[in-house]
């Protein structure tokens, strides 16, 4: 079980440090739940120091697929590992929507991340029109197939998938637990086809569609929901810790 907080373009240095420290101080450690926080890139080093010595992992929100070069404003996998990152979010719906990321660019980033011993949290999911037209399963199948093409992992712990029903992000809507489970089960089957059943069974599939303390219990109790990629609720230590506690309870 993994609970990862995506802080998006929020927090300055001082508030990022404070939030990270509050999470560490409030966290009741559960061996069965891994916790990661993904602050803005400019705050990574400071947050790394704030969580040093704790069980909280550091993650980044994006990376470039090249090791170095004339890519103004970008960061490489090696830069992220040097600052202490274990995870990196790749292909978030906002990156696809606002920065024209494609399944092909996602694939290049995933392959580079795995090669550099970063665990990619690969985001997939459909828009409202795609769900309403009945194309949701096909959209996600395409994103998995193209985004993970030629990806070579040595175990399921080397890769995380986050299912984002795009229509449920920041809209006030949330997929029902049954809808989440249906898509997570579909994703598990796609991963099994690609990596084999044993590996697919150990790949964590997170729900990333506005998980909050008041819906976390139901979502995390589903058999193929292995955690959450948390947006707004990760910006307050109290709500983030509440979701972690829900994750721990679901494994009990």
Is residue 29 annotated as part of the catalytic site, yes or no?
no
11-20, 96-105, 169-178, 237-246: least confident range: 169-178
CA 99 to CA 230: how far, in whole Å?
21
The model's pTM is: 0.96
- Catalytic site residue from 164, 184, 204, 245: 164
Would you say 21 and 48 are in contact if contact means Cβ atoms under 8 Å apart?
A: no
Nearby residues of 110 by Cβ (< 8 Å), 6 or more positions away: 90, 91, 120, 122, 147, 148, 151, 159
**Catalytic residue from among 30, 92, 94, 126:** 92
pLDDT in tens, 26-60: 998 888 999 999 999 999 999 999 999 999 999 99
164 catalytically annotated = yes
pLDDT tens per residue across span 157-185: 999 999 999 988 767 677 899 999 999 99
162: nearest Cα among 40, 59, 39 = 59
Which pLDDT band, with edges at 50, 70 and 90, does 74 fall under? very high
Report residue 213's pLDDT band, with 50, 70 and 90 as the boundaries.
very high
161 phi/psi in degrees, rounded to 5: -110, 140
């Amino acid at each position: 079980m993994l609970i990862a907080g995506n802080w998006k373009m929020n927090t300055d240095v001082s508030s990022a440090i404070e939030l990270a420290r509050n999470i560490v101080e409030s966290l009741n450690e559960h061996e069965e739940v891994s916790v990661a926080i993904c602050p803005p890139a400019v705050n990574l080093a400071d947050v790394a120091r704030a969580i040093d010595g704790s069980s909280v992992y550091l993650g980044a929100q994006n990376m470039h697929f090249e090791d170095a070069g004339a890519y103004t404003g970008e960061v490489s996998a090696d830069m992220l590992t040097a600052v202490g990152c274990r995870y990196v979010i790749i292909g978030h719906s906002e990156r696809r929507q606002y920065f024209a990321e494609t399944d092909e660019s996602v694939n290049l980033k995933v392959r580079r991340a795995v090669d550099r011993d970063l665990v990619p949290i690969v985001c997939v999911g459909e828009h409202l029109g795609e769900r309403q037209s009945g194309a949701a399963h096909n959209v996600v199948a395409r994103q998995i197939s193209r985004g993970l093409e030629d990806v070579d992992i040595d175990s399921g712990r080397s890769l995380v998938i986050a299912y984002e029903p795009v229509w449920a992000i920041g809209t006030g809507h949330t997929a029902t637990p049954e809808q989440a489970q249906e898509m997570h089960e579909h994703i598990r089957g796609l991963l099994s086809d690609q990596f084999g059943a044993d590996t697919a069974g150990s790949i964590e599939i997170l729900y990333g569609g506005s998980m909050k303390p008041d819906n976390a219990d139901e979502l995390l109790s589903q058999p193929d929901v292995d955690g959450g990629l948390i947006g707004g609720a990760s910006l307050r230590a109290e709500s983030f810790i509440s979701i972690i506690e829900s994750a721990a309870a679901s494994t009990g």
